[in-house]
Amino acid sequence: MGPVPELDERATACADRLLDAERVLLASHIDADGLTSAAIASRALDRAGLDHEVVFEKQLDAERIAAIAATGYETVLFTDFGSGQLDVISRHVADGDFEAVIADHHQPADADDCAPGFEATDGYGDFAWHLNPLLVGIDGASELSGAGASYVLARALGGDRNRDLAALAVVGAVGDMQATGGELVGANEAIVTDGIEAGVVTETRDLSLYGKQTRPLPKLLEYASDVHLPGISNDEAGAIAFLEDLDLDLRADGEWRRWIDLTDEERQTLASALVQRAVTRGVPAEKIDRLVATTYTFPNEPEGTELRDASEFSTLLNATARYERADVGLAVCLGERGEPLERARRLLENHRRNLSEGIDWVTREGVKQREHVQYFHAGDRIRETIVGIVAGMALGNDGVSRSKPIVAFARKNDDELKVSARGTGVLVGHGLDLSAVMREASRAVDGDGGGHDVAAGATIPDGREDAFLDAVDRIVGEQLA
Q: Supply the Cα-derived Rg of the chain in whole angstroms.
A: 22
* Residue number of the CB atom closest to Zn ion: 33
Q: Which is nearer to Zn ion, 33 or 309 (CB)?
A: 33
451 binds Zn ion (CB under 5 A): no
DSSP 3-state assignment of 23? strand
168 binds ligand C5P (CB under 6 A): no
Among 162, 305, 315, 374, which residue sits at the site for ligand C5P (rule: CB under 6 A)? 315
Among 180, 269, 294, 397, which residue sits at the site for ligand C5P (rule: CB under 6 A)? 180
Residue 348, contacted partner among ligand C5P, Zn ion, none, CB below 5-8 A by kind? none
For residue 5, give the nearest of 144, 178, 167, 169 by alpha carbon: 144
Q: In whole angstroms, what separates CA 432 from the centre of its chain?
A: 19
Residue 355, contacted partner among Zn ion, ligand C5P, none, CB below 5-8 A by kind? ligand C5P
User: What is the nearest approach in angstroms of ligand C5P to the Cβ of residue 348?
Assistant: 8
- Report DSSP state, residue 481: -
Which backbone phi and psi does 130 adopt, to 5 degrees?
Answer: -130, 105
Beta-carbon contacts of 397 under 8 Å, excluding residues fewer than 6 positions away, are 359, 362, 363
84 binds ligand C5P (CB under 6 A): yes
456 binds ligand C5P (CB under 6 A): yes
Q: Segment contacting ligand C5P (CB under 6 A): 119-127, 198-206, 262-270, 457-465?
A: 457-465
Question: Between 146-158 and 8-19, two packed helices, what is the crossing angle to 10 degrees?
Answer: 70
d(C-alpha 182, C-alpha 113), whole Å: 37
Query: Containing H/E element for 358?
Result: helix 339-365
Question: Binding-site residue total for Zn ion (CB under 5 A)?
Answer: 4
How many residues does the structure list for the chain? 481
CB of 151 closer than 8 Å to CB of 195: no
d(C-alpha 86, C-alpha 2), whole Å: 25
Among 176, 309, 433, 453, which residue sits at the site for Zn ion (rule: CB under 5 A)? 176
CB of 109 closer than 8 Å to CB of 86: yes
Residue 457, contacted partner among ligand C5P, Zn ion, none, CB below 5-8 A by kind? ligand C5P
Among 45, 454, 460, 475, which residue sits at the site for ligand C5P (rule: CB under 6 A)? 454
Beta bridge partners of 346: none
146 binds Zn ion (CB under 5 A): yes
> CA separation (Å) from 404 to 341, 395, 454?
39, 9, 12
The CA-to-CA distance between both ends of the chain, in Å, stands at: 43
User: What is the nearest approach in angstroms of ligand C5P to the Cβ of residue 83?
Assistant: 9
352 binds ligand C5P (CB under 6 A): yes
329 binds ligand C5P (CB under 6 A): no
User: What is the nearest approach in angstroms of ligand C5P to the Cβ of residue 422?
Assistant: 5
405 binds ligand C5P (CB under 6 A): no
User: What is the nearest approach in angstroms of ligand C5P to the Cβ of residue 352?
Assistant: 6
Q: Which is nearer to Zn ion, 33 or 222 (CB)?
A: 33
449 binds Zn ion (CB under 5 A): no
318 binds ligand C5P (CB under 6 A): yes
455 binds ligand C5P (CB under 6 A): yes
Which residues lie near Zn ion (CB under 5 A)? 33, 80, 146, 176
